[in-house]
Amino acid sequence: MSRQQLWLSWLVGMVLVLALTAGTAVAAEVKIGIMNVQRIIVQCDAGKAAKERFDSKMKEMQGTFKQEEEALKTLQVEIQKKSSAWSEETKADKVREFQKSGRELQAKTEDARFEMKQLQDKELEPILKALEGVVEQFGRENGYTAILDAKNGVVFFDPAIDISDLLIKKLNEAMAGK
Quote the pLDDT of residue 31: 87
Quote the pLDDT of residue 5: 65
Q: Work out how many domains the chain is built from and give that number.
A: 1
- Other Cβ atoms closer than 10 A to 51: 14
Tens digits of residue pLDDT in 55-90: 999 999 888 889 889 999 998 999 888 888 888 999
Q: What are 149's strand-pairing partners?
A: 35
Question: Cα dist. 175→126, 128, 153 in Å?
Answer: 9, 11, 28
Q: What is the pTM of this model?
A: 0.66
Tens digits of residue pLDDT in 110-168: 999 999 999 999 999 999 999 989 998 998 898 888 888 888 866 566 778 888 999 99
Q: By residue range, what is the domain housing residue 85? A: 3-175
